[in-house]
Chain A
Amino acid sequence: MLIKTQSSGFDHSVPSEITTQAAYQGRRDIIKLMATGAAGAAMAGWAGREAMAQSVPKPGKLATLAGAKSLVAGAVTMENISSYKDATSYNNYYEFGTDKSDPAQNAHTLVTKPWSVAIEGLVKQPRSYTLEELLKLSPQEERIYRLRCVEGWSMVLPWVGYSLSELIKKVEPLSSAKYVEFVTLADPKTMPFVGSRVLDWPYVEGLRMDEALHPLALLTFGMYGEVLPNQNGAPVRMVLPWKYGFKSGKSIVKIRFTDKQPGTAWNKAAKQEYGFFSNVNPLVDHPRWSQATERRIGEDGLFTKKRKTLMFNGYEAQVGQLYAGMDLKKNF
């Protein structure tokens, strides 16, 4: 059993635990070389296993979507990457069921081709983008983000996409646009739980314009070097590493620019529990889950003490200034 103490735990990893970027990249190169080189098919299989062992997962189940290493500050955490299996079998995606194992079972019905995203509202260039157009709009980057769920668990996931700001720059929002609203697919034919009254469908999320323009806000098309699996929000979703997971809408079909704060799905369902901002904040508890600590899925053992949650999920240096002077207890 792995027993972690506070000193060896989360806040500051001991240097020996950290895989340096060079070593990490080096391993990837070796693996690539082995998989493609003279070693042949047998070695490729071995390389695949090695890849898993080194937490450089490329599961090979879906179409490849590679991204160059991101240069955005804070975009590549050095922590151990969660297993692909955990990341794709433990999901909250209520359109496919409320149990976390439901999406993996049910999301195969989702039709992701053809797909388009409508850009609407207070914007100079309102239009619809096909997925192919979006994929090519800006170079794909790989970002390794911590993901913190409001339920008190976390993972470390390698996403592929580019900053949402790239798209925003292209469509030129009007100066009156203060917020961005994300509307996700609600298709009762392919999403069995859209008929349920758990939430007010479609699932809507939103950001203030400055949050949306922050380089860490990732318009995401892939993970683990491949396109997104359906249960993780294929074919395009948001990923906002400093906010609780539910802020990152999945399977987006519409992006609207507005002058009013969007009414978001969870805020409408339980106003006192889910605020508009939903920044990860260990000091502001949810009525059901203490937010002071979290369990890292797959890494923290059953009897390991939960690790301390960091302000803004550890991205305070990058996003803190967005909220300077705001009362985060009130604007939770």
Chain B
Amino acid sequence: MRYETLSGIPVKEVYGPEDLAGWSPEVDLGRPGAYPFTRGIHATMYRGKLWTMRQFAGFGTAEDTNRRFHYLLAQGQTGLSVAFDMPTLMGYDSDHPRAQGEVGREGVAVDSLADMEILFQGIPLDRVSTSMTINAPANVLLAMYVAVAERQGVPPDRLRGTTQTDILKEYIAQKEWIVPPRPALRLVADMLVFGTRHLPQWNVVSVSGYHIREAGATAVQELAFTLADGIEYVKLGLAAGLDVDAFAPRLSFFFDVHSDFFEEIAKFRAARRMWARIMRERFGAQNPRSWWLRTHAQTAGVSLTAQQPLNNVARVALQALAAVLGGTQSLHTNSMDETYALPTEEAVMVALRTQQIIAYETGVASTVDPLGGAYFVEALTNQLEEAAWAYIERIDAMGGMVAAVEAGYPQREIADAAFRFQQQVERKERIIVGVNEFVVPEERPIPILRIPPEVERRQIERTRRVRAERDNTQVARRLEALRRAAAGNDNTMEHILECVRAYATLGEICGVLREVYGEYREPVVI
């Protein structure tokens, strides 16, 4: 066995005051709700308001997903979170040749406003908050959401929610992109400006470490690369002429919660402290809300095993507990069957109930930052912070995250870490229960969700009908206006909204952007 964290930080047999030499409770810990927010961004934390329980859902057509949303809301879920399918994430319509076999499989297919209207049918958009896991075409999906709200009579300033919009993380890890990094960032800047003007309650960018971690990063790398991406978005907003305190409070974060219990707790605490310092000291933000690192967390999909899938319930519960002890604002718990397919309704319910058990039965939400001051947790928080700063300094020296990504630097670091981890598992230096130890030969099959192939056909039919029934002259005119804006300096968001209102499809809008900016091909790094 290795006595070190998943990031490779050595773990001592016991910790005491000597491990906190130079550490000051006033400077490094502070009070909950006060700078540097190590103990949480709110003074009363979960006594004031529990975290939002937000299970990610989306599959098949908009009708299928709309039914799942109504079910989840009826089960006590407090926010919606939309998963889109691969073609949507890549900006292709369902009838594009590259979409073949992918439609509705890993999320819901959204090709036009017609789909978005069905997706939110019967859901009052002024009363729920909606998170959309969408990045490269986030501008188009946000425009569609605004347009659906208009049709419901809800003005944009009442909309609450998040578009992920973290395009840097896409080039680093998740790899669903449309255009190259620099024009993609210009589109994000347009969204930041639009959001600051019209959507005061919308989180335009959720800076996401989740996918970085899932791709193989360690906790230290996740922390460092995510904050380094956050720094880039702040620089972007400033370059677009926004006042830092006008948009920084609307940046949110998204972290993974893996199985190394104390390292994960320390990661959330270090992240808050580092971001507060970055915003106050590096960017001179004045508004305390600009200093807040508000975060959504999701349990580690990559930690789940296909072997003995019921064991995943225990893994998810412990990871969820770590996220709560770390002080997250919002949480998604994975379902036990996700190593096979998208979760079934029953598996999702067990995952949601896991959060409710932590919230209502364990008592851990009764006091703020219950592990604050623990020698081990504070020492680990310090060590994670120190290791993450070293990465951020390296990235700064490379000219920032865009340059680092173009050089393949984070991609290579992550691939190295993934390979190192796998080797440790192979050599049994890390035990994965049911995989390399405590293995059973026979396994009980668990039910899995099937997406019928007709989904693709039905979706394609709807999109073709939309194209046939809309005013195509108007669509062509609006797409042309978008093309001019994209090639020039006009804010593209207003034009995308016009395209969406005219039922231009996602593929058509992204097609214009592909023509203007070119498609991205990544330098292959093994």
State whether these chains interact: no
